[in-house]
Structure 1
Amino acid sequence: MDAERTKSLSKEQTKQNVHVYTEHYEKERIYVRQVGSNRYSLAAERRERLEAVPRVITTQLGDGLHDNWHIIEPGDDVFRSQTLHLHFVTIQPNGRNDGHGHQNEALFYVLDGHGYEIHDGKRYDWKKGDAVAVHNDCVHWHNNPDTEKRAVCLVMKPKPLSLFLGLSYQGKIGYKPENDHLWEPRSEWLTARPEGDAEVPKVFPAEATPFEWGPFGYTRQIAGEGVPLRIKGTDAYLQHIPAGSRSGRRWRMPDEMLLVLEGEGYDLHWDVEVEIDDQFYARIAKKPTRWEWKAGDVIWVPQNTVVQRFNTGEGTAELVGASNRVFNQLGYSRIHYFENAPEYDESQAGADASR
């Protein structure tokens, strides 16, 4: 603990309570899960898993030092997905975590409190409602200067994919290769961070862009193509559903993970199977499955699913959701809408009438 404090950048930080993560786990951690089968088609394994796995998770964060921060990762006993790793980070009053770095990026959405990042020696302030980027190969730690209130963030990161691709360097400040005499003196890390990348903002403030009506409903993008935030592998958005209303009904290939911030309601999921003949044909389930959710729950929408979301509460339902952006690069960027959100159709009709 004392050794870690000496690595801080200022006298202010040496007075902080430092949460040091252990280097070892009680049992082996599964970073990437094997995909195996005795047959070429994996459809049966997929169907069995989807029929057996609950798609709503009730989170239990707690309110102390030993918070239950885990949500979804590949090593779960009930395996859902390894496209994203989803978890909470809590920073206790006047606290920070220990300095570390990893090759995978991480997207933070600040749920409560305020604080700042130290990224490669630079400070980036954040507050509730902001989206924060931890870029690839970034040495960082998270700080909470509030002496009375903790800060809580939702972390969405494509860590399993990064590790599957061999981007496995991660460690605490002070790590060096063994057998120092075998290596040249250290030099700049030149195989990442393309020209101009350092100029892209690391914090996307809550007030930076407005919510807008679209086919899926009332949403605000916080990470994705065109969003000025230094995030490459994760798309994320906020969604508000008015009381008594519903989202659009859409079909897309990426799976999705959403934290319910406020309200209650349910999802309808129409699973999609494939029929392979002269080309791929979709076979959409005649009947959907229904998944009830409330504030604090996490919804998992599997890959290749038609989804529609309903608000059954008296107030606005608020959610934050994320998916892995690599699907877009692989050719699965298209979204098909069977039905638009009713308010969007009303706004379009109004716009047409005014022309």
Structure 2
Amino acid sequence: MDRNAPSSVIATDTSMHKTVAHPSKAQIRRWRRYLAEEISEAHIYSVLARRSSGKEAEILQEVANAELRHQNHWRALLGEHAHPEPRPSASARMLQLLAKNFGTVFVLALAQRTEGRSPYAEDPDATEAMAADEAIHEEIIRALSTSGREKLSGNFRAAVFGANDGLVSNVALIMGIGASGASSSMVLLSGIAGLLAGALSMAAGEFVSVRSQREMLDASRPTQVTLSVAQDLDINENELVLIYKARGMSDEAAHHRAMERFGRLDCDCDPSLSYNPAMEEEDAPQEHGALGSDIGAAASSFCFFASGALIPILPYIFGLGGTFAMILSLVLVGIALMGTGAIVGLLSGASPFKRGVRQLAIGYGAALATYLLGLLFGATVG
């Protein structure tokens, strides 16, 4: 390294133990962008760590510390070009705002996508360790997002998909009715009927679905019969052992548990065989946390289907009619479909834009099909 070279044109990569002489303007811009992203990510993870507790908070703070190490790498390369400190992008600032004011589920979902798009693996100025860090960070954030996604995926699933179904089914209905030449009042009446019929059907279907699933889980749950009838069983036949074997226990463990039930053992042997009163239903299938309640799922389905189905008929409610009302209805539905698709994409770790476009294509495709049918039947009747 030329010790007489001006510091403004020499950057040192302390992680790779090399120097980059005379970095180009493009390199400086790219490094400053990376630095801004690392500053933003460290800030976001630190905020989320403060809003969390226990192990999750510790993990988030460790990830934030890793981002600080990455910052030091780019600061070393930039030298004096690291000042003034670069400002995060608009999207990064928005994510910081979300982290400060809202829950972690949506923020972690966005952070997961950010980590997954890291360019370090292809950038020669980033170290292999940094690229590996970013890949690991994506998996860490994915794991932390799992529990939040599961909590949302019960009633939230019914809500989002209920709204989407309302949007698609009712816009298709009114497009078909409108294309047939029916009056605006008839289109509005049809839309209201479609809203009520669909919302009630969705609520009933969701209620039956969730209730049936809960009933199946309850039917598989072990009862307390081993406590109530153990004293009356023939210890020589010992059918109690069969219960525990049917629940998946080994022969030895089943026999040991039965002897405990008969009061013949007060075990100080292998702890794995000993009875634990807190685990009376240790072999019971557990209800999945994402299932949600039947009433909650039904109410969410009704309300969100109705809210979705309301959007296509808004122009008719306000007295509009004809082609203009149909076009405005399609525009409003398109915006809503993009929104629901983006939310689903965000929570699933996929591209919100691509999921939004997919929902839009599905909705408009259904509307086009019924519109063409409406034209056909209108011409036939005429």
Query: What TM-score comes out, normalization by structure 1 length?
Result: 0.26
Which has a greater percent of helix? Answer: 2
Which has a greater percent of strand? Answer: 1
Greater RCO (CA < 8 Å, at least 6 residues apart):
2
Structure whose alpha-carbon radius of gyration is higher: 2
